[in-house]
């Protein structure tokens, strides 16, 4: 799944998540153009830890505030830390300061309809591969398996968008691949085998999806395992914009992907 910032709705300079049912009552609310909101977001995304801490000291409750967008929706200070494209200076230190001051690491903000949003800050860090900030959020109590993201859990987001550093971090911290395609992309052979040992067995589409994602993740062993179990090398998921397994492997750029692409080409020659 190829990442694009359109997965989040822009509003007032921050990007806001989609709605899910959960309320967080009593939080401070500020408009996107409120001078205090602007000052905090500027300090956050500028990496000015001292300025962030000063604002938090001077304005109790600011760390847990909601920031209303110009076109609806509302995000949090931690959404500002993890806003696209991520990698703001001192991001991990800023996130830690906000959490220490009372920011709710699992607050998903609000959608345009006023209902709670889909994505917590960890979903956003996972979607940009900002592993330093993701680690700070996890240390602050972020839910590793929170559902509802643009693809699913933070791990699903990380894998789907090819954010391998955060994907590895999440697995190391205890996130579980909950679908064959996730396990395949990560090269977790034992998890892939577990799906085949379970009842019901994976469907043809699930096997094809797992194979394509194994190529996305540069996983030669898993790709071979799935090809031996009937994967269709020509199958392309709807979201891939026509990219075949071979094309996505060639796009990977690392040694594993190169080895896998060579192997795929040889398999294609055999089948031809």
The per-residue pLDDT for range 243-259, each reduced to its tens digit, is 999 999 999 989 999 99
CB 56 within 8 A of CB 35: no
CB 100 within 8 A of CB 143: no
The band of 26, judged by pLDDT with boundaries at 50, 70 and 90, is: low
Q: What's the confidence (pLDDT) of residue 114?
A: 80
Q: What's the confidence (pLDDT) of residue 269?
A: 65
CB 64 within 8 A of CB 104: yes
Is pLDDT at 44 greater than 90 in this prediction? yes
Cα separation, 184 vs 191, whole angstroms: 8
Percent of the chain with pLDDT over 90: 82
Cα separation, 242 vs 96, whole angstroms: 41
- Report the relative pairing of strands 29-31 and 74-76 from DSSP bridges: unpaired
CB 173 within 8 A of CB 138: yes
Mean pLDDT over 213-223 rounds to 98
- What domains sit in the chain, N to C, each tagged with a CATH number? 1-175 (1.25.40.20), 177-272 (1.25.40.20)
> Of 28-32, 40-44, 50-54, 268-272, which gets the smallest average pLDDT?
268-272
Cα separation, 224 vs 95, whole angstroms: 41
For the chain, the average pLDDT equals 89
Residue 152, SS3 per DSSP = coil
Q: What's the confidence (pLDDT) of residue 23?
A: 36
CB 236 within 8 A of CB 209: no
């Amino acid at each position: 799944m190829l990442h694009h910032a359109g997965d989040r709705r822009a509003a007032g300079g921050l990007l806001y998540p989609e709605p899910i049912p959960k309320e967080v009552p009593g939080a401070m609310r500020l408009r996107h153009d409120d001078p205090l909101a602007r000052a905090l977001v500027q300090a956050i995304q500028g990496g000015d830890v001292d300025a962030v801490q000063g604002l938090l000291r001077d304005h109790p409750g600011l760390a847990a505030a909601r920031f209303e967008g110009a076109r609806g929706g509302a995000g949090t200070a931690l959404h500002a830390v993890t806003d696209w494209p991520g990698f703001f200076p001192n991001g991990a230190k800023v996130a830690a300061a906000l959490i220490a001051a009372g920011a709710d690491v699992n607050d998903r903000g609000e959608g345009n309809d006023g209902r709670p949003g889909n994505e917590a800050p960890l979903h956003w860090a996972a979607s940009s591969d900002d592993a330093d900030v993701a680690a700070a959020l996890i240390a602050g109590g972020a839910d590793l398996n929170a559902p509802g993201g643009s693809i699913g859990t933070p791990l699903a987001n990380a894998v789907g968008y090819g954010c391998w550093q955060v994907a590895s971090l999440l697995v190391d911290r205890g996130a579980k691949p909950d679908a064959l395609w996730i396990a395949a992309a990560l090269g977790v052979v034992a998890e892939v085998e577990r799906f085949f040992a379970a009842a019901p067995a994976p469907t043809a589409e699930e096997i094809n999806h797992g194979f394509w994602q194994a190529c996305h993740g540069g996983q030669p062993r898993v790709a071979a395992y799935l090809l031996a179990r009937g994967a269709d090398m020509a199958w392309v998921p709807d979201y891939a914009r026509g990219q075949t397994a071979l094309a996505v492997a060639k796009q990977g750029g690392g040694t594993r992907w190169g080895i896998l692409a060579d192997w795929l080409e040889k398999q294609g020659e055999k089948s031809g």
